[in-house]
Amino acid sequence: MGRIAVIGAGMGAMAAAARLAVAGHRVTVYERAETYGGGVGRFERDGFAFDTGPGLLPLPAVWRDLFVKTGKEPLEACVELVQVDPSSRHVFADGTEVALPNASRAGVVAALDEALGAGAGGRWGDFLVRAREAWDRTRRPLLEEPLWPDWAVLAGREPYPAVPHKRLLRTRRAGTLAEVGAWELRDPRLTALLESHALAFGLDPRVTPASAAVLPYLEHAFGTWYVRGGLRELARAVYERCTARRVEFVFGAEVTGIVEKDGRAAGVELAGGTSQAFGSGGGTVAEADFVVAGLHPARLHALTERQLDAAGDVSADLTAPCAGRFGVLLALRGPREAGAAHRTVVHAPDREAELDWLHARSDEPVPPTVTVRPTVTVRPTVTVLRPDDPDLRPDADHESAVVWATVPARADWSRPETRERVADLVLAAAEAAIPGLRERLLWREVRTPLDGEEATGAPGGAVSAPALAAGQARFLHPANTTRLPGLYRVGGWSHPGGGLPHAGMSGALVAGLIVEGPEFRGSQ
Q: pTM here?
A: 0.93
Confidence of residue 335 (pLDDT cuts 50, 70, 90): very high
- pLDDT: is 377 or 325 the higher one? 325
Q: How much is the pLDDT for 468?
A: 95
pLDDT score at 430: 95
74 touches 67 (CB < 8 A): yes
Cβ partners under 8 Å of residue 61, min gap 6: 222
Cβ proximity of 1 and 25 under 8 Å: yes
Which pLDDT value is given to residue 364? 46
Confidence of residue 378 (pLDDT cuts 50, 70, 90): confident
- Band (pLDDT 50/70/90 cuts) for residue 346 is very high
Question: What does each C-alpha distance from 417 to 29, 185, 367, 438 come to in angstroms?
Answer: 38, 40, 12, 19
Q: List the single range of 206-215, 227-236, 241-250, 280-289 with lowest mean pLDDT.
A: 280-289
Task: Write down the pLDDT at residue 412.
Answer: 84
- Phi and psi, residue 423, nearest 5°: -60, -45
pLDDT value at position 305? 76
Q: What is the pLDDT of residue 272?
A: 76
Mean local confidence (pLDDT), 206-222: 95
| pLDDT for 275 | 44
Q: Are 245 and 269 in contact (CB under 8 A)?
A: no
With cut-offs at 50, 70 and 90, classify the pLDDT of residue 260. very high
Which DSSP symbol is given to 433? Answer: T
Which tens digit of pLDDT belongs to each residue from 118-173?
Answer: 999 999 999 999 999 999 999 999 999 999 888 888 888 899 999 876 655 567 78
* Burial class of residue 196 (count of CB atoms within 10 Å of its CB; 0-12, 13-18, 19+): buried
**Cross-strand bridge partners of residue 165:** 170
Cα dihedral sign, 361-427-466-177: negative
pLDDT at site 371:
47
pLDDT of residue 467: 95
Percentage of the chain exceeding pLDDT 70: 92
The confidence score (pLDDT) of residue 60 equals 96
Q: What residues contact 267, with CB distance under 8 A and at least 6 apart?
A: 5, 258, 259, 261, 285, 286, 287, 288, 291
CB count within 10 Å of CB 246 equals 10
Query: How crowded is residue 43: how many other Cβ atoms within 10 Å of its Cβ?
Result: 17
CB atoms within 10 A of CB 218: 18
- Residue 215's pLDDT is what? 97
Q: What is the pLDDT of residues 293-325, one digit of tens each?
A: 999 998 999 998 788 877 678 877 766 657 999
In 3-state terms, what secondary structure has residue 155?
helix
Residue type, 81: L
Each residue's pLDDT tens digit, 56-78: 999 999 999 999 999 999 999 99
How confident is the model over 86-94, as a mean pLDDT?
A: 96
Q: How many CA atoms lie within 13 A of 305 on its CB side?
A: 2
DSSP notation for 256-271: EEEEEETTEEEEEEE-
Question: Which pLDDT value is given to residue 282?
Answer: 52
H/E element holding 417? helix 416-430
What pLDDT was estimated at residue 318? 63
- SS3 readout for 452-464: HHHHHCCHHHCCC
Q: What is the pLDDT of residue 372?
A: 45
pLDDT (mean) for 345-365: 82
Percent of the chain at pLDDT exceeding 90: 78
How many Å apart are CA 61 and CA 56, to the nearest integer? 14
Confidence of residue 376 (pLDDT cuts 50, 70, 90): low
Mean pLDDT across the chain: 91
Q: Which residues pair with 472 in a beta bridge?
A: none
- The pLDDT of 104-123, averaged and rounded, is 96
Q: Residue range 268-286: average pLDDT?
A: 67
**pLDDT of amino acid 521:** 86
**Residue 278: predicted pLDDT:** 42
CB atoms within 10 A of CB 146: 21
State the pLDDT at residue 89. 97
Distance CA 45, CA 92 (A): 33
Radius of gyration of the chain (CA): 23
Burial of 177 (0-12, 13-18, 19+ CB in 10 A): buried
Over range 402-418, report the average pLDDT: 90
Q: Residue 102 pLDDT > 50, yes or no?
A: yes
Confidence tier at 188 by pLDDT (50, 70, 90): very high
